[in-house]
Amino acid sequence: MKKLLTMTLTLALAVSCLAGCGNKTSDNSSGGSQGSGNASGQIGSPDAPVDVKIVIKDVFPDEEDVKLLAENINEKMAANGQYVNVIFLDPPASDYVTAMPLAVMNGESDADLIYFQGGDQAVAEQGLLEDLTPYIENSTYVKALMDETNVAKMESYPYLLWLAPPRTCTPVIRTDWTEQLETYDDLIADPTVDNYYNFFKEMKDKGLVEYAISADGDTSRFDSIFNHAFGVTGTCVQEDGKWIFSQASQAEKNKLEFYAKLYADGLLDPNFLTNTWDVMEQEFYDGDVGVISGTAGATIQIYDTKMVSLYGEDASLTVLPPAKGVSQSYTSVDVTKESRGFAINADSPNKDAAFAVLEFMASPEGRILDKVGIEDVHYTVENNQIVFTDKFSSWWARFWDTTKDFNPQDPSLAEPVLCESASTSLDMVNEYLVMDHNLLIPNEMTPQWDAMQNLYNEYAADIIRGVRPISAFDEFVEQWNAAGGDAFEPILQETFG
């Protein structure tokens, strides 16, 4: 499918508030780390390696794997003439998303390289994060691993780098069940909303499952299948000659009406709003639910591995396409900014060294270390092939999630890192990719936006569960506009006008 770029909100508002961020400079105190953006040359010396302090969520310096990772980075970079001393710092003990930004803003963290999983925008607005643009422009390996969504996000917000595929959910089902469903071939040939409904209904009518689909607290996993089919193609859509948030659109109303039908017909797990992620997944593993959506790549790998361990190879997973209608895609990929990733502390004296670590981990040698682990611990090399040990299953990439162009040849992989369904899910996300810009909500309008979201969540839940009729959506739109929709309207029209 031809890749589409939806007409979406530009970032003029966000850019104006971020102008000038990340422009701090610092004196060089560690040998070749002046923050010049050139991190590919000499770094430090054998007698004076440059300290690079790194903090990452769930990466603890006293863990044996983390100690080995630091040692290997130091040794392998030294062999290339870059002498660093990687020091992993303890992540905050409290909620990382909240605590890490506060630690940087309060000066409590002196990490050079910081992984954020939210909250970074406030840090950037204070000028505490380095603009990564010159580093990326001067890179070799980081630049090569960036896909078009990474590029778009960095152009919009140059403070956070995350080399990973889009965090897009793709629906999966056990392959052995598809072979028992007569509607499966019709769904694959023409994945309309009606064919999806028939597919769901057949799996329940035949007693394969108790419910066709489930989720964990909201509709986002369903939306990954059905948003585009109903015309919810981005954060904003054009309706009656003006731009509005899609949550208040006729397309959203039509979609919620369909979800209500699934609920009324017993195809949608009635506990989808109260399920936690682990409860939802257990329903899937137990065979109570036929289809769930998980993040393409790594999460689908986990689902597949677990299902095969329980029921054998025939129960490996099949990835389903997004529903087809007004458009066809999984949930549009927000390219306003990265939602997580690595930033360089603007006050760091070792900026070039910090980025050099990121560049090395994106290199062929670094990627084997990141994706496969430590030689003779997580894998061995036999006949010039990487063979996983029993400890490989406990290893995970601390830096880059991407599997783009990961096909090492010297040594080569004896077996792929990702199973077939996980790899297919990534391919299908790229096949149906649609990019979307979200609006970075101005601080002064956050209370209005929160009120609007609360209204949506309330009405959507009630409409789906049949507590309110679909006609109540019109009442919701009136309240949505009164709560803040009208206030946002001139911003949207000016942006697109």
The string of DSSP codes covering 276-322 is: -HHHHHHHHHHTSEEEEEEETTHHHHHHHHHHHHHH-GGG-EEEPPP
pLDDT at 18: 37
Cβ–Cβ < 8 Å for 296, 430: no
Is 113 a residue whose pLDDT tops 70? yes
Domain ranges, ordered by start, for the chain: 15-164+337-402, 169-330+439-496
Q: For residues 395 and 378, what is the distance between their CA atoms, to the nearest angstrom?
A: 7
The listed range with the strongest mean pLDDT (35-44, 400-409, 453-462) is 453-462
pLDDT band at 497 (very low <50, low <70, confident <90, very high): low
Residues in the chain: 497
Give the range among 16-30, 46-60, 373-387, 404-418 with minimum mean pLDDT. Answer: 16-30
The dihedrals phi and psi of 185, each to the nearest 5 degrees, come to -60, -40
Q: For residues 136 and 158, what is the distance between their CA atoms, to the nearest angstrom?
A: 10
pLDDT at 35: 64
Residue with tokens 């369903």: 222
Is 14 a residue whose pLDDT tops 70? no
If you average pLDDT over residues 58-72, what whole number do you get? 97
Residue with tokens 């999984």: 330
CATH, range 169-330+439-496? 3.40.190.10
Structure-model confidence comparison of residues 38 and 282, the more confident one: 282
pLDDT band at 495 (very low <50, low <70, confident <90, very high): confident
pLDDT at 38: 67
312: left (phi over 0), alpha (psi -120 to 50) or beta: left
Is 366 a residue whose pLDDT tops 60? yes
Amino acid in the structure at residue 481: N
Q: For residues 237 and 216, what is the distance between their CA atoms, to the nearest angstrom?
A: 26
If you average pLDDT over residues 405-417, what whole number do you get? 88
pLDDT at 409: 87
Looking at 3.40.190.10, 3.30.420.80, 1.10.260.40, 3.30.450.20, the CATH number of the domain 15-164+337-402 comes to 3.40.190.10
The reply to whether domains 15-164+337-402 and 169-330+439-496 share a CATH topology is: yes
Is 258 a residue whose pLDDT tops 90? yes
If you average pLDDT over residues 158-171, what whole number do you get? 94
CA 155 to chain centre: 18
pLDDT at 66: 97
468, 317, 441: which is closest to 11 by C-alpha? 441
184, 189, 217: which is closest to 201 by C-alpha? 184
pLDDT band at 36 (very low <50, low <70, confident <90, very high): low
pLDDT at 4: 38
Cβ–Cβ < 8 Å for 236, 246: yes
Q: Where would I find the H helices in 79-156?
A: 96-105, 120-125, 133-137, 141-145, 148-156
Cβ–Cβ < 8 Å for 117, 97: yes
| Residue-wise pLDDT tens digits, 264-300 | 999 999 999 999 999 999 999 999 999 999 999 989 9
pLDDT at 76: 97
Q: Where would I find the H helices in 341-485?
A: 351-361, 364-372, 420-431, 446-464, 472-480
| Residue-wise pLDDT tens digits, 447-457 | 999 999 999 99
Residue 443, CB half-sphere, CA atoms under 13 Å: how many? 6
pLDDT at 25: 35
Strand ranges, E, within 9-117: 50-55, 84-88, 113-116
The listed range with the strongest mean pLDDT (67-76, 162-171, 444-453) is 67-76
On average, the pLDDT of the chain sits at 90
pLDDT band at 155 (very low <50, low <70, confident <90, very high): very high
CA 295 to chain centre: 7
Is 47 a residue whose pLDDT tops 70? yes
